Amino acid sequence: MGFHGTTILCVRKGGRVALGGDGQVTMGDTIMKATANKIRSLKGGKVLAGFAGSVADAITLFERFEEKLDRYPGNLPRASVELAKDWRSDRVLRRLEALLVVADIDHTYVLSGLGELFEPDDGALAVGSGGNYALAAARALLPDPAKSARDIVQRSLEIAADICVYTNRHITILELPA
C-alpha cells in the first residue's frame, strides 16, 4: 500500500529516535499544500507518530491510537497490536486509507489497515511515496558514526525530495528522548 504526497521516516541510533516527514500534500498531480505537518508527539512527548495517506483518515487513526495508549499506558507494543486488530476488523476503520508509524524509546512500528504490524530489524523504517528512497538513504547513512538519528532523517528526507515528485523539502523532525 503506497500513498502519494508523503514521506515519513523513523530512525533509531545512539539511544535516540528521530521521526520526520515532509510537508507536501497532493491531490492527483496538483500540490495542494507544501507545509503540512504529518508527525506528532503523543502522551507528553513519550510517543511519536506519523502518517501517510488521507489526512482525515490519519486524524481518526491518531485519535484511536491515543485511546489505545490510554488503555495500555507505557505499552506501545500492546497498544499497536490492539489498534491493528481493530483496524482490520472494524467496518469503518477498514476503509481508512493511511499508514501509521509509531515509536517510543524502545520500539518502532508501522501499522496498516490490513492488520499488518512491522518492526524494523535495522533501526530504520519509512512509508509513503518517497519512503523507499528515504529508507535506502537512511540505511546507507546509519553506519556513519558522525551522523545522529536526526541528521540521518534530515539528509534522507532531503534525498527522497530530490527523487520523489510527491515529497518536498519542508521537513519536520521530532526526537526521543525529547
**CA neighbor of 106 nearest in space, from 75, 135, 82, 80:** 75
Report d(CA 21, CA 171) in Å as an integer.
6
Active site residue: 6, 7, 26, 108, which one?
6
C-alpha cell at 26: 497532493
Q: What are the grid coordinates assigned to 27, written together?
A: 491531490
Could you give the CA distance from residue 95 to residue 168 in angstroms, rounded to a whole number?
27
- Is residue 6 part of the annotated active site? The answer reads yes
Residue of 103, 111, 13 whose CA lies nearest to 53:
111
Q: Quick one: DSSP state of residue 91? A: T
| CB-based burial label for 153 (10 Å; 0-12, 13-18, 19+) | buried
Q: Which residues are catalytic?
A: 6
